[in-house]
């Protein structure tokens, strides 16, 4: 019998077909679409981080959510999602599910009562994401999980932005936690992966569907993902500190009209000084160990720091280029840059990869 990689020696197992262990297709020694030793190893680490019974890995975050939803709902069912949510998730709710006869309702997640009001006798699933992409809005996980459970409805939480170091949704009663592991979990921008973590019984249902969708992670990717996760405890506190410093700097910047950040800043500094005192505070302070590294800012019209606000007249852009504040709008952009809808090129340093909503 092959021993396979161990946690101390996470080598890669890149065979697609195995001779041993064929009695258990769900096991790691059958066929790589069913799972291989590297998948199992990465999944075990994620389950431990999220505090869940089990976990599974998928080819991307979208593969995780789409496979999970397809596994858990059928035609005629109803699903509740959030108004502020990652665009791909919104598209599953607004485009994919309705085409399959599943109705959906999107609610303002800042108020748990909105979820309750949207419940129907057909509701099978509630999808939450907190903090949300792109508005960093907070969902009260305990409140939503509680009301879902009371109505026999399953909950799925996207924990991509928080990471399990800042928030563990299962601790608040969420059934299944999922991630775009492409982001913080891997942390090296060289893997596309997703994870689902939750009770074995629900994961078995999702795994059955993943066998059909074939949303399988390649055998080398879990090895890279494990390499990335090893530095998560070093990276996340630094991201948290950078997020806070940037949120504070932008909040007092004259060109910035609004900063979307999970906490009210003056209270946050104080809270960090008295860590552990969490009672009577807003949901994010009860459920998140820290605010995380992500934020979004809005700038005054005509300011240069955000791609959205660069949609101004070409005349204004030319004037700014003449003053040396912007690349010349009449000069073709370098081949690797995208142009904004109004045709002005991205500012220096704003590469296509810096867009926070992807």
Residue from 52, 105, 182, 288 in contact with ligand PLP (CB under 6 A): 182
| CB-nearer residue toward ligand PLP: 88 or 345 | 88
Quick check: 168 and 86 in contact, CB under 8 A? no
DSSP per-residue codes, 238-295: HHHHHHHHHHHHHHT-TTEEEEE-SS-HHHHHHHHHTTT--TT--HHHHH-SS--S--
Q: Catalytic: 184? A: no
Does residue 216 interact with ligand PLP by CB under 6 A?
A: no
CA distance 73 to 92: 12
**Residue 33 a catalytic site member:** yes
Q: Which of 28, 123, 133, 155 binds ligand PLP (CB under 6 A)?
A: 133
Q: Is 160 in the site for ligand PLP (CB under 6 A)?
A: yes
Which is nearer to ligand PLP, 64 or 317 (by Cβ)? Answer: 64
Question: Of residues 158, 221, 290, 350, which has the active-site annotation?
Answer: 158
Helix-helix angle 37-50:221-229, to 10 degrees: 30
Task: Give the shortest CB-133-to-ligand PLP separation in angstroms.
Answer: 4
Contact between 86 and ligand PLP (CB under 6 A)? yes
Size of interface with ligand PLP, in residues (CB under 6 A): 15
User: Rule CB under 6 A: is residue 172 a binding residue for ligand PLP?
Assistant: no
Rule CB under 6 A: is residue 177 a binding residue for ligand PLP? no
Between 67 and 344, name the residue whose CB sits nearer to ligand PLP.
67
Q: Does 192 bind ligand PLP (CB under 6 A)?
A: yes
User: At closest approach, how far in Å is the CB of 169 from ligand PLP?
Assistant: 13
Separation of alpha carbons 192 and 301, rounded Å:
35
**Whether 183 is catalytic:** yes
Least Å distance, CB 50 to ligand PLP, is 15
Site residues (CB under 6 A) for ligand PLP, limited to 45-84 = 60-62
Rg, the chain, Cα only = 22
Contact status: 158 vs ligand PLP (CB under 6 A) = yes
Binding mask 220-259 for ligand PLP (x = CB under 6 A): ----------------------------------------
Closest approach of Cβ 108 to ligand PLP, in Å? 18
Sorted by sequence, the CB contacts under 8 Å of residue 147 that are 6+ apart come out as: 112, 115, 116, 119
Taking CB under 6 A as the rule, does residue 159 contact ligand PLP?
A: no
**Long-range CB contact pairs, 34-40, < 8 A, 24+:** 34/211, 35/207, 36/219, 37/4, 37/5, 37/13, 38/5, 38/10, 38/12, 38/13, 38/219, 38/220, 38/221, 38/222, 38/223, 38/226, 39/217, 39/219, 39/222
Distance CA 185, CA 232 (A): 7
For the chain, where are the E strands, in sequence order? 54-58, 78-82, 103-107, 123-129, 154-158, 176-180, 194-198, 256-260, 296-299
Range 210-228 burial, b when 16+ CB lie within 10 A, else e: bbebebbbbbebbbbbbeb
Task: State the nearest-atom distance from the C-beta of 355 to ligand PLP, in Å.
Answer: 9
| Tokens (6 digits) for 354 | 């810096």
Q: Does 262 bind ligand PLP (CB under 6 A)?
A: no
Q: Which is nearer to ligand PLP, 37 or 292 (CB)?
A: 292
The answer to whether 171 is a known catalytic residue is: no
CA dist., res. 37 & res. 29, Å (int): 7
Which of 123, 137, 180, 320 is the binder for ligand PLP (CB under 6 A)? 180
Q: Are 92 and 46 in contact (CB under 8 A)?
A: no
- Taking CB under 6 A as the criterion, the residue among 10, 37, 88, 243 binding ligand PLP is 88
- Candidates 22-30, 100-108, 155-163, 327-335; binding stretch for ligand PLP (CB under 6 A): 155-163
- Interface residues with ligand PLP (CB under 6 A) are 60-62, 86, 88, 129, 133, 158, 160-161, 180, 182, 192, 194, 358
Active site members: 33, 86, 158, 183
């Amino acid at each position: 019998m092959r021993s396979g990689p161990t946690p101390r020696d996470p080598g890669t197992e890149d065979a697609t077909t195995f001779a041993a262990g064929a009695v258990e297709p769900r096991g790691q020694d059958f066929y790589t679409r069913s799972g291989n030793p590297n998948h199992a190893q990465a999944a075990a680490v994620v389950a431990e981080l999220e505090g869940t019974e089990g976990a599974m890995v998928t080819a991307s975050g979208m593969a995780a959510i789409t496979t999970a939803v397809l596994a858990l709902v059928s035609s005629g069912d109803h699903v509740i999602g959030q108004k502020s949510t990652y665009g791909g998730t919104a598209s599953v709710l607004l485009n994919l599910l309705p085409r399959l006869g599943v109705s959906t309702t999107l609610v303002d997640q800042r108020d748990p009562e909105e979820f309750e009001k949207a419940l129907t006798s057909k509701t099978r699933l509630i999808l939450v994401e907190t903090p949300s992409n792109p508005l960093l809005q907070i969902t009260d996980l305990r409140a939503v999980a509680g009301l879902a459970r009371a109505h026999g409805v399953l909950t799925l939480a996207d924990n991509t932005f928080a990471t399990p170091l800042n928030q563990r949704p299962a601790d608040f009663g969420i059934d299944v936690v999922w991630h775009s592991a492409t982001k913080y979990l891997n942390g090296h921008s060289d893997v596309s992966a997703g994870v689902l973590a939750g009770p074995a019984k629900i994961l078995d249902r999702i795994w059955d569907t993943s066998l059909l969708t074939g949303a399988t992670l390649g055998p080398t990717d879990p090895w890279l993902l494990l390499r990335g996760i090893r530095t998560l405890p070093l990276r996340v506190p630094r991201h948290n500190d950078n997020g806070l410093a940037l949120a504070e700097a932008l909040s007092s910047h004259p060109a910035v009209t609004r900063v979307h950040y999970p906490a009210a800043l003056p209270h946050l500094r104080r809270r960090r000084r008295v860590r552990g005192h969490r009672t009577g505070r807003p949901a994010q302070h009860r459920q998140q160990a820290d605010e995380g590294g992500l934020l979004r800012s809005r700038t005054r019209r005509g300011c240069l720091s955000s791609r959205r606000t660069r949609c101004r007249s070409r005349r204004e852009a030319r004037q700014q280029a003449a003053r040396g504040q912007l690349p010349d709008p009449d000069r073709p952009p370098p081949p690797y840059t995208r142009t904004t809808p109004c045709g002005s090129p991205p500012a220096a340093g704003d590469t296509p990869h810096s867009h926070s909503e992807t």
